[in-house]
Amino acid sequence: METVEMNSVALKRPHAEDDGANADEIKRQKISEKSKTGNDSGQSVETVTEQPDRSLLEDTKNEIIPNEESEEQEDEELEDSDEDGDPESFADMMKHGLTESDVGITKFVSSHKGFSGILKERYSDFVVHEIGKDGRVSHLDDFSVPVDDEVNFEDPSEETFAVLSDEDKQRLEELQLLKNKETSVAIEVIEDTKEKRTVIHQAVKSLFPGLETKTEDRDGKKYIIAYHAAGKKALANPRKHSWPKSRGSYCHFVLYKENKDTMDAINVLSKFLRVKPNIFSYMGTKDKRAITVQEIAVLRITAQRLAHLNKCLMNFKLGNFSYKNHPLKLGELQGNHFTVVLRNITGTDDQIEQAMQSLREIGFINYYGMQRFGTTAVPTYQIGRAILQNNWNEVMDLILKPRPGAEKGYLVKCREEWAKTKDPAAALKKLPVKRCVEGQLLRGLLKYGMKNIISAFGIIPRNNRLMYIHSYQSYVWNNMVSKRIEEYGLRAVPGDLTLKGATAVHIEEGDVDNYTIHDVVMPLPGFDVIYPKHKIGEAYKEMLVADNLDINNMRHKIRDYSLSGAYRKIIIRPQNVSWEVVAYDDPRIPLFTTDLDKLEGKPLPVLPTDGKFRALKMEFSLPPSTYATMAIREVLKMDTSIKNQTQLNTTWLR
């Protein structure tokens, strides 16, 4: 559920219209009409028709790629620039973006009348706490550093972090990583004392593990000489030379962050610690425009060094430190707990009660949210489809061609150059930030040539390449689940699939009364998926045939792009659902306290009983790979796309 804040995308002028999304919509409508029947479930199932008068803000995923290597400072500065623009112009640009119906999100399962409210008017209105595999909710509630059993090992003092100059650190890092031919680095000791020399020795050894130090006299001056303890052997695992055997190799900690996504946060932490981002591990990515609390593990970095960052960094806090012998793995979490405030709501008390009771008792359609599909007129699922079709020229064209929509100015210039010259070197020169998908692909084309697009595309980090085909899977699944709800409503029917353990089985005619809609799963297209024995199975096949794909053979000649099958529940019923309506006058004040507020002793906000605005504060827990915005969509009955929301209200950008 990793997302990027909407106003982090700057403005561009529209280019020629792209007709891909419209073609997909026509195709989907034809498939839908071909097997449409009435709904006899007894439940109200609506198509999105209402246009509310206020904005529900949906964060989106752009194509900025977190590189595995440390990036140049210039990249970071450019990444943060070019963000401001006239809100109305932004709304105009987003007219070319996607709506929910473009990606198959068309149904509701509740019968209440929709109302409006503003989501994420402040990023602190959306708080996420990770739920670990043991069911424990992660909270930041302790800043203390654990004491080692091994008393001979000393963590560096606070003075250590400031004793070396930036130039010293740069030279030492190059020595540590064998980036030059130097065999040692000499650091002159100014104001020579034994204490000062000791601090420098500690600083070098703690900040650059694998280096050893000694003191030498040169021309009447004292120098600390840093050198490799074991050459390339030390480089292979430099931290082992200074890590107690009795201590677990991984420091686990709780990361509290505000308005930063998970990979951005890890890149910042790695930069300040002067380590590579890949020594960090985590169980799931979290939203940017939110306050999020999650567990992180890092290889052989002390809790004291991590705790020091609390004094250096804005919008981050680290705590609840412990040493363990294992890293964290993606997907190990049980889910996430959400605390969400919808401001300036218009619903009556009765409407709110109906909406929240329905969310608690029925749930919501388990759609993939809008952030899965990108923000421009070239949706990520179109690129995924081209990969699955083995149409690499189209993959290259879709990623690099000009498109209408909101993008950073340098990307616009890069695309224009590409359209004009088809010269990867010329286009790359227009792109000062090289760690985006476009920059990676252009680098690949320079390296491998225009006739080897597959290898050029392979330069993009694997997770980001797979994002495209997973987006296509999500696009198909959204369309099919909408059709399933339309055909059969909110009841289990013969031919549906349910899970028994890890195995999918068909629900037979005689057993249908033993199942509810909450037991039903639907497959994501892949080569090892069992397809249902009713109309939806045929609809899957028709949709993929229209895309020149064979549902019975999703193997790709490049193994990475072979879609593996999986099953997904069609209705999710949130757990631990609670809510209250509160009144307020000032939209800038928080409406509840965060973990950090509690640690700092901030009191609960005092709210008026007769404020001029009303807000709905809701809490609920969701399993992994489900979207809180889709739950909120069900409550409000609103289109959560940026295209729709920016047309309704752009005051949130000011």
Catalytic residues: 287
Please answer whether residues 505 and 533 qualify as being in contact, where contact means their C-beta atoms are separated by less than 8 angstroms: no
Distance CA 228, CA 184 (A): 7
CA gap 41, 492 in Å, rounded: 10
| Residue 513, C-beta contacts closer than 8 angstroms, at least 6 positions apart | none
Alpha carbons 398 and 388: distance in angstroms, whole number:
14
| Contact assessment for residue 453 and residue 424, using Cβ atoms and an 8 Å cutoff | no
Q: H/E element holding 504?
A: strand 503-506
Q: What is the Cα–Cα distance from 70 to 90, expressed in whole angstroms?
A: 32
Q: Which residues contact 560 (CB under 8 A, 6 or more apart)?
A: 462, 465, 466
Q: What is the DSSP string of 299-322?
A: ET--HHHHHHGGGT-SSEEEEEEE
Instruction: Spell 302-334 as b/e; 16+ CB within 10 A means b.
Output: bbbbbbbbeeebeebbbbbbebeeebbeeeebb
C-beta of residue 527 within 8 angstroms of C-beta of residue 566 = no
- DSSP per residue, 170-215: HHHHHHHTT-SS-SEEEEE-SS--HHHHHHHHHHHHHHSTTEEEEE
- For helices 409-421 and 392-400, what crossing angle results, to 10°? 140
Strands (DSSP E) along 4-155, which ranges? 118-119, 126-131
Phi, psi of 131 (to 5 degrees): -110, 115
Which of 581, 584, 602 lies closest to 593, judged by CA?
602
Contacts with 369 (C-beta within 8 Å, 6 or more apart), sequence order: 1, 58, 627, 629, 630, 640
Tokens in use for 450?
Answer: 């225009």
Distant-in-sequence, close-in-space partners of 6: CB < 8 Å, separation ≥ 6: 57, 58, 59, 60, 289, 642, 653
